[in-house]
Structure 1
Amino acid sequence: MDIARQVVSFLSSRGLMLATAESCTAGYIASLVSSVPGSGSCLDVGFVTYSPTGKAGFLGVREETMKQYGLTSEEVAREMSEGALKQEACCADVAVSNTGVADEPPGDGPPAGTQCFAWSYKLRDGQVVTFSETKVFDGDRNEVRSAAAHYALSRIEHYYDRLPRH
């Protein structure tokens, strides 16, 4: 069974809804989920915020965070996933975000293939718990984007299993 099917099965079996907040993957995470029959029961909303103004305006990523840590950072990824869950019309319990560089960045920056992720979970008491990671993938631009999208999905259940139990 492929990862998108596993994620849909996992989320559906627990009555969870997913939001995505994507930069480098540009909607590919949500697209993978939506390719699975029955995904409408667990896919709430997807944000594609490629630009700094999109990250700030739609997801509430603070300009100070982007300036201090850079767009390719776990700090930005964390604010993206938490920001998705905070949106008024968002009904999701889980958000995954991605930001990174798919190919050689101009000037000084992280190496090509660097991807930062965050997974945020809204607990029953309203508290949000967030996990984050940075990985570097090999390949051309679209191979990196595909690997990042699949990886983002592959860690949803992993981090869910690490949530505090009340």
Structure 2
Amino acid sequence: MDLLDNITRYLIEEELTLATAESCTAGLIVSELARVPGSGQSIDCGLAVYSPEAKNRYLSVSFDTIDAHGLTSEAVAREMALGALDNNKADVALANTGVAGPNPGDDDTPIGTVCFAWAFRHQGHVHDFCETRRFDGERNEVRLAAAHYALERIPHYHRLACGNHSAA
């Protein structure tokens, strides 16, 4: 629980409120964070959005983006994070889309591939960052690793959004 405690403390100290837009992890990011007593003061909402229609309806992800880049792409993750930030009372939004298994994606995306996006609202500006990672393991191991990774990267990208370019 050290990771979860540390991220909760960071969110509270930095006065950040989190929204998640989760496809691959299906709400696990916000669920994991909610295990920590007191974390609720830093959580605005968690959305589980699997289908392209749900991504479009709740997060304004463009069908053109999905068609051009595929569901498992940084472009889709970015639009998901920006949609979550725009539609909620949050300072930070995390999003992911990927293939947890047991089968590869429709476009043969390898099992364990997850695209992430983090979006921050800071001093009237929005900053966003994306990464793609591949995790080993069975379906739920991939989901948990992806959820923890998304949370663990919040301080790094928050520091960058705030102008600290030497963030580790």
SS in 2 for 1:99: strand
Residue 70 of structure 1 aligns with which residue?
70
Residue 14 of structure 1: CA displacement? 1.2
- One-letter code aligned to 2:131: E
Inter-partner Cα distance in structure 2 for 1:64 and 1:134: 20
Partner of 1:3: 3
Whole-angstrom CA distance in 1 between matches of 2:80 and 2:149:
17
C-alpha displacement at 1:105, in angstroms? 2.2
Q: Within 5 A, what are the aligned runs for 1:3-42? A: 3-42=3-42
The match for 2:96 among 85, 95, 98 is: 98
- Deviation of 1:128 (Å): 0.9
- Inter-partner Cα distance in structure 1 for 2:83 and 2:108: 25
Per-residue deviation, residues 10-56 of structure 1 (Å, max 9, x unmatched)? 01011110000000100000001111000111011111101110000
* 1:104-138 superposed Cα distances (whole Å, 9 cap, x missing partner): 2255321110000000001121x210000000000
**Residues 122, 162 of structure 2: 8 Å contact kept:** no
Between 63-72 and 1-10, the greater mean CA deviation after superposition: 1-10
Paired residue type of 1:109 = D
In 2 relative to 1, CA 107–80 (structure 1 residues): closer, same or farther, beyond 3 Å?
Answer: closer
Tell me the number of residue pairs that the alignment of Structure 1 and Structure 2 aligns: 163
Q: Classify 1:76/1:86 alpha carbon distance in 2 versus 1 (closer, same or farther; 3 Å).
A: same
* CA–CA separation in structure 2 for the residues paired with 1:26 and 1:20: 10
1:165 is displaced (CA, Å) by: 3.4
The equivalent residue for 1:51 is 51
Query: CA, structure 1 residues 106+79, in 2 after alignment: closer, same or farther (shift >3 Å)?
Result: closer
Helix, strand or coil at the partner of 1:161: helix
Paired amino acid for 1:51: S
Q: Note the residue ranges of structure 2 that are not aligned, 5 or more in a row.
A: none
The two structures, once aligned, show a CA RMSD in angstroms of: 1.4
What secondary structure, in the 3-state scheme, does the structure 2 residue paired with 1:82 have? helix
Segments of 5+ residues of structure 1 without an aligned counterpart are: none
Runs of 4+ with deviation above 3 angstroms: none
Q: Partner amino acid for 1:152?
A: A
1:164 Cα deviation from its structure 2 partner:
4.3
The answer as to 2:96 corresponding to 1:112 is no
Matching residue within 132, 135, 140 for 2:133:
135
**2:151 aligned residue (150, 153, 157):** 153
Contact 2:74 2:130 in 1 (8 A): yes
Identity of aligned residues (%): 52
Distance (Å, rounded) in 2 between the aligned partners of 1:85 and 1:51: 19
